[in-house]
Structure 1
Amino acid sequence: MTEHIDHGPHPYVVNIEEATLTNENFRTTLWTGEKMQLTVMTIPVGGDVGLEVHDDTDQFLRLEQGHGRVQMGPSKNELTFDEEVSDDWVILVPKGQWHNITNIGDEPMKIYSLYAPPHHAHGTIHQTQADQDH
């Protein structure tokens, strides 16, 4: 079983499918380097990642489990991109784009995400979505 701690910036290998599917936290940082970061997320049914923008970070997200609605756009009131995604789909978020992913399925949505450069502090664990606001 995968140890859900931040292993960066040391060399690290992981079965990403196992790490993503066994994560029970809203967000767990698995690896933080100087130029990139890997996190895994669990979004409950009806929950979402949270509408946000990264001014200096591109982001790659992949759904390992679930069904989601992806919205993106130039402002939080102008989400002109709207697509549904499911298992094995990838979402690419350019820096400066407001974005959110909502779980519209009937099971927890399991996601892994790469940020370049890193977005969260080394070792970040958010057990719930509310924890990210503190």
Structure 2
Amino acid sequence: MRSMDIKDNGPKPNVFDIETATVENGAYRHVAWTGKHLQVTLMSIEPGDSIGLEVHKGTDQFLRIDQGKGVAKMGPTKDDLTETEVSDGWSIQVPEGTWHDVENTGDEPLRLYAIYAPTHHAQGIVQETAEQAEEDEEAGRDEPPSWVEEVDEKGEETA
């Protein structure tokens, strides 16, 4: 199945070849599946670009590189980051509240997938560029669906 054929069917069972879909994905971010407690997104970062330095409150993140090479940057503050070289097959685990970025240092697109727990983005959203992703976030178009299970800082479900 080509990544462009993937439709986010919400909290229903879903099966697809994630490695093929990740390598074929050309969009900056393509939300492939949204559940009540986690979400799968495919990402493509162009040479010299990065995901962008960010921090998520209340969301853990798992990333896996399926093509290319780069540098993972993580730390307790945006000015205190540890850098690790990553490439095909590497995974990156980002605990909530950790500043992080992944930069493409290669000469081909860096293709990876990210799993957010809990859900972090709008169901099924496809953002071709980082600029579009930023615009969607600022305009409120990149919010998780209302049916996801939200948790508070203590890990308890909210109403």
Name stretches of at least 5 consecutive residues in structure 2 with no aligned partner. 136-159
Q: Which has the higher contact order (CA 8 A, sep 6+)?
A: 1
The CA RMSD over aligned residues, in Å, is: 0.9
Moved over 6 A (4+): none
Distance 2:47 2:7 in 1: 25
> How far off its partner does 1:133 sit?
1.1
Indicate which of 1, 10, 13 corresponds to 1:11: 13
Aligned to 1:113: 114
> How far off its partner does 1:106 sit?
1.1
Deviations 1:63-116 (A, max 9, x none): 00000101111111221x210000000000000000000000111000011000
Partner secondary structure for residue 111 of structure 2 = strand
Distance 2:7 2:57 in 1: 26
AA aligned to 1:46 is: G
Distance 2:8 2:28 in 1: 15
AA aligned to 1:93 is: V
Structure of higher CA gyration radius: 2
Aligned to 2:154: none
Distance 2:50 2:62 in 1: 16
Aligned to 2:152: none
> How far off its partner does 1:7 sit?
2.3
Distance 2:9 2:23 in 1: 18
Distance 2:6 2:85 in 1: 29
Contact residue 4 and residue 28 of structure 1 kept, 8 A: no
Distance 2:111 2:10 in 1: 22
Name stretches of at least 5 consecutive residues in structure 1 with no aligned partner. none
**Percent of aligned pairs with the same amino acid:** 48
Count of residues in correspondence between the two structures: 133
Report the TM-score, using the length of structure 2 for normalisation.
0.81
Distance 2:116 2:79 in 1: 24
Aligned to 1:54: 56
Distance 1:72 1:93 in 2: 8
AA aligned to 2:92 is: I
